[in-house]
Amino acid sequence: METVQARTHTAVLAYALAAESVPDRFQTPVSAGIEELVARVAGGDAGVYTDVQAAFEGAEDVASAAAEIADADRETFQRLYDEAGN
């Protein structure tokens, strides 16, 4: 459970740091859902999230997966996409 929290917080905060401001009319259901998660996590107590990150593993796994996706060619991206859906 705790590792799931650390991974989730990492992914949400990484998205928030990497995302660009997008007008509401260009939001998709997926991006709107992620924005809601960002608001929930970033609107909380930073100390709580800091404690979770310090105490539990998982952040490195998210960073590694993001790097693999970023470096993927079309074939590799398709494989990773399929893996994520299963």
Q: How many separate domains does the chain show?
A: 1
Query: Could you give the CA distance from residue 14 to residue 19 in angstroms, rounded to a whole number?
Result: 8
For the residues 40-46, what does the mean pLDDT come to? Answer: 94
For the residues 13-42, what does the mean pLDDT come to? Answer: 91
Q: Which domain holds residue 13?
A: 2-85
Contacts of 10 (CB under 8 A, 6+ apart): 53, 58, 59, 62, 63
Banded model confidence at residue 24, pLDDT cuts 50, 70, 90 = confident
Q: What integer pLDDT is reported at residue 4 of this predicted model?
A: 85
C-alpha distances (whole Å) from 19 to each of 11, 15, 47 are 12, 6, 23
Q: What integer pLDDT is reported at residue 2 of this predicted model?
A: 63
Q: Report whether 18 contacts 62 (CB < 8 A).
A: no
